[in-house]
Structures are given as structure tokens and as C-alpha cells.
Structure 1
Amino acid sequence: MDGKTAAIGRDDSWSMKVQPEVRAIEGYPVVLPCSFSHPNHTPHSSLLVEWRQGSTLLYHCTTHAGSPACEPAPHQDPRYRLEGNPREHDLSLRINSAALQDGGRYYCRVKLPGHKHASYEDKMGTLLRVEAPPRILSLSVEGSEESGFSALCEVEGSPLPDIQWISPDQLLKGVEVGWPLGQGSPSHHHTVSQLQNIHPGQQYTCSATNPLGREQATLYVLPPRREASPGTSTPPLLLLLSLSLGAKALLLGGLGVWVLQGRAPSGLSCR
């Protein structure tokens, strides 16, 4: 992808070059390129380098005369470090183990102490897109025998996964219900699909797909147990959760248990 050049401030002898957009895969490092030029800056000049995500300052370091390194601020998050050499006008930032929440717009800034109009920043910034294969975060059942049972499938991924519900012999239509109540703020990397009117004695598969892969989880809903005779014990009935993987999807696995005894509490979750 071609870079772009932005002259910032009133001194047109400055220029800064960044990438308009950078893509990363979750869990892998990514580098955000940034370089600058200014005729008054020499390899021996001091300077201050800053990177921010939106309005949040993520990284800053300072070079000093006679020192080859750019010294990070105290308590700097070690996930961030300069990939480039500021003395060679390279301010590129490396982010180790990119996460979905790292996505957003980043801005590179440089300051030259002792020079007029000494602070410059790229105004357009670099858009970082972090991509991840689908992950099924939870599969749960809610409702009662009186009101009916529904299955909820909570999924994370980028691009946002497409969710399908499958029974052994047909595709079923789910309803997107957004972010689960009580579990933080909505995110464009998360979605929850609800399958209504599920029936004991059946199995239902939640399948999440995006360009990076596919993941599936299957519920086996067993009928509620009958009331035991006095003095006898009846083993609990189980709802089993299994996960199957598509190409390039991350390996996950789990087993959940749900007991149906007449009335089931709402919001039972198998994680």
C-alpha cells in the first residue's frame, strides 16, 4: 500500500510519511510505519517521539545527545516499542501480539526541542485493522418449560462472523440480539445469536464463519428427567457442548452440563 505525505504546521520544510491503513492478525506482531524529514534535524539532535491511539497516548520516548537509543518513558507498556531508529528519521512503532481492541486510528508525532514550530503530527493517521478467526465464547440455554427454551450463541471475530444454526436435517433461523446483558459494552467484534423454541431431545449446532475460518458448537438437549420415586435416586440428564473446527480456526474445546428438572433456571450457560 502506498504511503502518504503530510506537511504539518506552518513550516513547510517538515514532512511526515505514514501508511493510510495496516492490517494485522490477532496474536501476531504488527509494525506501523512512520518517517519524517526536517532540514534542521541531524543524527545528533535530541527529539521526542509519541504515538497515540485516538486521544490515548500509548508510547513516547526521548533521544539525547550522545545516546543512540530512544529512552522510553517509565512504566511504558512493553507491548509497544520503536521498530525504527529516530536518529535516521524512522519512527515506526511495533505492537507485539496484536489484539482485537488494538484496532483503531494511530497518530505519529515528533518534537524537536530548540526549533521553531518544533512539534509535528500526521493529521490523518494510520488505521489499524486487526483480524481474527471466529471464536465461540459461550453457548447457553435460557427459559422454562412454561415459556419455552432458547439457545444463545456468543461469538467473537473480525471481520464479524456470520452465524448459522443447524439441526441434523435443516438450517434454522436465528435472531441477532446484540451484546449479552451484564457483560460490558457493545463491540463491533462481538455478536450474539438467539435460536428460539428449541426442544429437548434435539441437537442444535451454532456455526460461526468469517474469511479466516469457521468454528462450530453443538448442543445436545436431553429431555427432562422424571420425578424419582421416594427412596430412589435418578442420575442427572446432561446437555453436552462440543466444538468442531474449520480451516484456519483456533483450537478450542469444552464440555458443558445442564440439568433439566421440571423448571430450568434462565440464563444457564455452558462455557
Structure 2
Amino acid sequence: MDACLLASVFTLLPTFLGAQGSGDNSWSMKVQAEVRATEGYPVVLPCSFSHPNHTPHSSLLVAWRQGAALLFHCTTHAGSQACEPALHQDPRYRLEGNPREHDLSLRINSAALQDGGRYYCRVEVPGHKHASYEDKMGTLLRVEAPPRILSLSVGGSQDSGFRALCEVEGSPLPDIQWVSPDHLLEGLEVGRPPGQGPPSQHHTVSQLPDIHPGQQYTCSATNPLGREQATLYVLPPRREACPGAAAPSLLLLLSLSLGAKALLLGGVGVWAVQGRASSGPICRWR
């Protein structure tokens, strides 16, 4: 990156926080108020502009930010059609439009839930007084995702009682229901598990207290894009044949279904609280 380009970029950064134009009424910029995307798919944020000082031979400095964070910037040099991105630019972002044709649209490849937020488009014509502009309202990007059950686990002990935990992600945030074979059960929303950071608008954990051996419990997560569910089978304790052998404390069999399709998780994992033989049930994932 040459010294002139670097100086232009740092000149832009203080003005980003104000989200203001140059004060030149000859500018115009057109963006969409809201864009919706699906997780894992590309999305384009439209942005176009016009200004009398811009000619096909003008150099342009283009920048996009999400909130206060600068995400992307590139420069078109005189005599070149390409908009050259900054060094170490995240490859997920690229300019979809052609600045020579007044199109500054940004493409985000493989949209993720954390990409949701408000985006602002900015353009500058270097060497011209007041020849810069940023749309004040911006574009709100909403990234949607069907429910996904990240984990279904058991906590507690025989003394304090066992509880089931269902960790779910999705956008809009899924509704969670606990179901036994014959009736609905009352779960409690407990946010994210300890040590996993602050609560997220796309992530939640529901807890079902007082689960019992010999029963099965289903966690069902639903939002407008779909439904996913997982079922936990809690088997009664069994005695070990070998005296003195240590035994895990709870047996779990997990099945997962997407809509009408049932998906059995392959492999076996073990969750265990070590104790003496015959102290409690056995535990395993399926």
C-alpha cells in the first residue's frame, strides 16, 4: 500500500463514527434499508452513488464498515477498472459492483450469524474538496438460520438430582419445548453455559430439572425456518458383575431429527461421574 493511499484511509476513519457526508448537496447515494440473508449463503449489500466530480478517469476510495468497525476498503486508480483491496483484506468480502459505473455493492461470501448488523457504504474522490460521502442510515443485514441443537447433556448428581440441558442456536432465536411421551414439560431458560462468553441473541440454553431414570425427554427447537429435536433416554441403574469396579452414573441415548427425517448420531461418547459399583445408572451418547 503506497503512502498516499494509507494517508487517505486514515483520513476516512475518524469520519466513520459520525456517519456523515461531506456536506456537498451534489452527492447522492442509494442503498437498501434492509437485506436478508441465509446462513452459509452469499449476500450482496447494494450501494450506488453519483457525483459531478467523478469521471471515468477519477481515482476512487471505497470503504464499508459494520457499526464502527472498518470491514473493507479498496482503491481504483486512474486508468484501471479494478478496485484494489487493502493488504490483509478478509477474503470473504469483495466489491460486487464496478465503481467506474457508480456501483459500490459489497458481497459477503458464506454469511454467518455474526455478520448481522448495520452496514455503511462510503466513497471518496481524492483530490476534490468535499468529494466524499457516506449514507447516514446504512443497511440493516439480517442473517437467518434454522434451529440447530448444539448439545444435549445431563448435569447434577444422585444427591442433588439430575437435570437435562439443551443448547440451541438459530435466527430468529428458536422457541424450545421439552416433551415427554405423554405431556409437555416446563423448562427454564438459563442463557449460555458458564465460561462461554456473554449471552447471544442467536444462542440459548434451556434446562429441564428433576429428570428420572426410566424416562425419555425430547428437546424441540422451532423457528420460522424449521424445527430440530433431540431425545434423551435415561435408563435405570444396573449393577456391575465385577466387585469393586467403577461405573459411570447415567446412560444416555440421543437421537436427532430434522423435520420429518430422523438422524441417529453415529458413534458412542461417554459422560460419566465416577462412583462405586451399583451407585447409579450408566451413560452414553448414540
**Aligned pairs (5 A) from 1:1-271:** 8-226=21-239, 228=241, 230=243, 238-246=251-259, 253=265, 256-259=269-272, 261=275, 262=279
Q: Percent identity?
A: 82
Q: Is the 8 A contact 2:154 2:165 kept in 1?
A: yes
Q: Is the 8 A contact 1:25 1:98 kept in 2?
A: yes
The higher-RCO structure (CA 8 Å, 6+ apart) is 1
Q: CA deviation at 1:270?
A: 6.1
Whole-Å Cα distance in 2 between the matches of residues 253 and 48 of structure 1? 51
Q: Counting helix residues as a fraction of each chain, which structure ranks higher?
A: 2
Whole-Å Cα distance in 1 between the matches of residues 136 and 144 of structure 2? 25
The number of residues matched between the two structures is 262
Secondary structure, aligned partner of 1:87: helix
Q: Is the 8 A contact 2:250 2:284 kept in 1?
A: no
The AA in structure 2 aligned to 1:224 is P
Which portions of structure 1, spanning 4 or more consecutive aligned residues, are displaced by more than 2 angstroms? Answer: 6-9, 224-238, 251-264, 268-271
Secondary structure, aligned partner of 1:12: coil
Secondary structure, aligned partner of 2:167: strand
Distance 1:82 1:252, change over 3 A: farther
Secondary structure, aligned partner of 2:166: strand
Q: Is the 8 A contact 1:240 1:256 kept in 2?
A: no
Whole-Å Cα distance in 2 between the matches of residues 230 and 76 of structure 1? 63
What does the per-residue CA deviation read over 1:3-50, in whole Å, with 9 as the maximum and x for residues that have no partner? xxx993321000111001000000000000001110110111001000
Whole-Å Cα distance in 2 between the matches of residues 142 and 236 of structure 1? 11
Distance 1:87 1:148, change over 3 A: same
| Higher mean displacement: 237-246 or 172-181 | 237-246
Q: CA deviation at 1:118?
A: 2.2
The AA in structure 1 aligned to 2:180 is S
Q: CA deviation at 1:183?
A: 1.0
What does the per-residue CA deviation read over 1:106-149, in whole Å, with 9 as the maximum and x for residues that have no partner? 00000110111122111111000000000001111111111111
What does the per-residue CA deviation read over 1:168-212, in whole Å, with 9 as the maximum and x for residues that have no partner? 111111011111111122110001100010001111000000010
Q: Is the 8 A contact 2:230 2:256 kept in 1?
A: yes
Secondary structure, aligned partner of 2:229: strand
Please, which runs of 5 or more residues in structure 2 have no aligned partner? Answer: 1-18
Q: Is the 8 A contact 2:67 2:117 kept in 1?
A: yes
Q: CA deviation at 1:236?
A: 8.3
Secondary structure, aligned partner of 1:141: strand
The AA in structure 1 aligned to 2:205 is V
Distance 1:7 1:180, change over 3 A: closer
Whole-Å Cα distance in 2 between the matches of residues 21 and 186 of structure 1? 25
Corresponding residue for residue 11 of structure 2 = none
Distance 1:214 1:19, change over 3 A: same
